[in-house]
A and B are shown apart, each in its own frame.
Chain A
Amino acid sequence: MKTFGGPILFLDRSDINTDEIIPAKYLTEITKEDLKPYILEDLKLPGFDPKGEKTRNARVIVSRANFGCGSSREHAPWVFEVNGITAVIAESFARIFRQNMFNCGMAAIELPPADLDLIFTHANDDTVTMDIDIEAQALTVSGGGKQKTFPFEISPFDKALVLAGGWVDYADQKY
């Protein structure tokens, strides 16, 4: 099972799409590792640098609604994975992206807008971190000497995929 948590990369916009996460011209790469330099290359947000330290150190992304919309490319979760980011927290996800995350044994977790607003108050704090406990279905944000825990929902199937490390081995055993 993968580990979840660490420094947070805040992406404060809805509808961040798969072409922004990994442009199509890199879909000709054959290995996941080759995708690594191109993470979020086409995402334009004030103060965001895809090659910056915050991106490099991040282990979790926090964003808004409809994260991962657009293409079915699993290259989007993979480019996060090879950069050490194993969880995305958002108000909602596009269906294919969300399932791709869980199929790879990673986590796409939905929180209500009010909880996200609270987490986004830390957006300018470089020391803020998040711990995610999949079993307990709760995540804890630590920053500015304070801690706050947020419960979350995850379907039993998605939880099983995270615990199994992905869908291929699970399916080959069961079907």
Chain B
Amino acid sequence: MGKTTAEKIFDAHLVNEPFPGTKVLRLDAVLCHEITTPIAIDDLIRRGKDRVFDATKIKAVIDHVTPSKDTKTATQAKILRDWAHRHGIKDFFDIGANGVCHALFPERGFIRPGYTVIMGDSHTCTHGAFGAFAAGIGTTDLEVGILKGVCAFRQPKTIRFNVNGTLPKGVYAKDVILHIIGKIGVNGATDRVMEFHGPVIAAMTMASRMTLCNMAIEAGGTSGICQPDMTTVDYLWPFIQEEFASKEAAMADYSQWRADADAEYDQTIEIDVTSMEPTITFGYKPDQVKTVSEIAGTPVDQIYIGSCTNGRLEDLRIAAQILKGHKLAPNIRGILSPATPTVFRDATKEGLIDIFMEAGFCVTNPTCGACLGMSNGVLADGEVCASTTNRNFMGRMGKGGMVHLMSPATAAASAIEGVIADPRKYL
């Protein structure tokens, strides 16, 4: 019997199975940010266990509230910063070099096919785009990961998604994943890995695959996983060229993590994107989705483009393409937060930032900020945001605020019209 990608990774990283059904895995990367890590650090100190299992496998960033907005967030940043320095964690990203964790760490080449990755952040599932098993965990699991380099999991079953057809104009990875979540529901993949296959995924860039895998958790999924291929190798090549003689050699090695043809799946779901339309959420749960055309004309107060879901260069390119030569509709606020300093610089060089500013957008530094209502764009009671982020829970971007999740293209079209708008007429 063949194996899924997650099964192969589990087998290769198994430390032991302390009880039937519970597998303790060796970790390749433990990622940390300043919201969930400081309490773990504090607890390790309190227990007299202020140690790290391997400083080279721990990566840390200050990203949720940065630059710090008050004494409390400054304290969280300081705890993380001091800890990183104390333990010689070289891959620590502070102001000037920091960006949204799930955009920054892949951009630095830290995630490789076959890796096990944890972080105290639910959107860690993003990194499965590289053919890794990447799961969000809580502070206690993070603490053990930092201390011992292991994490316990129930072995998840895998749902296979065959994504077929051709993406129509104005439809992107974000629309595909919103459609899938709408189809299977917010707990449709609980304790499951979502493994994505098919020509649509094969044709996607790494950025699009990250958008897709990023929202696996919104269906309850443990990790999204894409199959490593030449697109993966090309993306990683600057970081792996000393490790492999050629790209073909890298591909040959990474192929070991591709699912076997006779792997057994919990379910196989066929998705055809050919007639798919731009998709959007309308309620307070990520599975409450409609086509944009169904709710076009709904007024919004703020446009937000950024986050670990859609704050990468290709997202900014798509939005800028639509915004070029247009202005924000009257009384609409626009906020752009490029996800990393590299995205910011590249977007500046390409003239994209100019287009956003010409349209009337405020451009902020890379940060998670507004996505979870912590800073840089919190909504007032009763306000509505057209957002490229990943979660539309009631009050998520600010108490009493409402969020519609959508692609950067739909957000840009909505910016021009001041209401939810179909991007296809601008393409």
* Pair B373/A23 contact, Cβ less than 8 Å: yes
Which single residue of chain B is at the shortest CB-CB distance from A17?
B393
CB contacts (< 8 Å) of A17 on chain B: these are 393
- Count residues on chain B whose CB falls below 8 Å from chain A CBs: 57
Instruction: Give the CA-CA distance A74 to B137 in the complex, in Å.
Output: 9
* Pair B122/A70 contact, Cβ less than 8 Å: yes
* Pair A66/B190 contact, Cβ less than 8 Å: yes
User: What 1/0 mask marks residues of chain A from 2 to 46 whose CB sits below 8 Å from any chain B CB?
Assistant: 000000000000010101100111011110100000000010100
A139-175 residues with Cβ-Cβ distance < 8 A to B are 155-157, 160, 166-169, 171-172, 174-175
B277-302 residues with Cβ-Cβ distance < 8 A to A are 285
Which single residue of chain A is at the shortest CB-CB distance from B141?
A103
Q: Tell me how far the C-beta of A169 lies from the nearest C-beta in chain B, rounded to whole angstroms.
A: 8
* Pair A157/B152 contact, Cβ less than 8 Å: yes
* Pair A15/B285 contact, Cβ less than 8 Å: yes
Interface assignment of B186: CB less than 8 Å from any CB of chain A? yes
Q: Tell me how far the C-beta of B138 lies from the nearest C-beta in chain A, rounded to whole angstroms.
A: 4
Please tell me which one of the listed residues A44, A77, A94 contacts residue B187 in the complex, with CB atoms under 8 A apart.
A94
Interface assignment of B357: CB less than 8 Å from any CB of chain A? no
A74-B36, A171-B150 known; A19 and B393 CB under 8 Å?
yes
Interface assignment of B143: CB less than 8 Å from any CB of chain A? yes
Which single residue of chain A is at the shortest CB-CB distance from B43?
A168
Instruction: Give the CA-CA distance A93 to B393 in the complex, in Å.
Output: 17
Interface assignment of A104: CB less than 8 Å from any CB of chain B? yes
Interface assignment of B114: CB less than 8 Å from any CB of chain A? no
Interface assignment of B191: CB less than 8 Å from any CB of chain A? yes
* Pair B144/A171 contact, Cβ less than 8 Å: yes
Q: Tell me how far the C-beta of B3 lies from the nearest C-beta in chain A, rounded to whole angstroms.
A: 21
Since A19-B391, A23-B395 are in contact, a sample of 16 more A-B pairs with Cβ atoms closer than 8 Å, ordered by chain A residue number, is: A15-B285, A24-B372, A28-B73, A30-B72, A42-B399, A44-B394, A65-B187, A70-B393, A72-B36, A72-B120, A74-B120, A99-B141, A155-B154, A167-B140, A171-B148, A172-B144
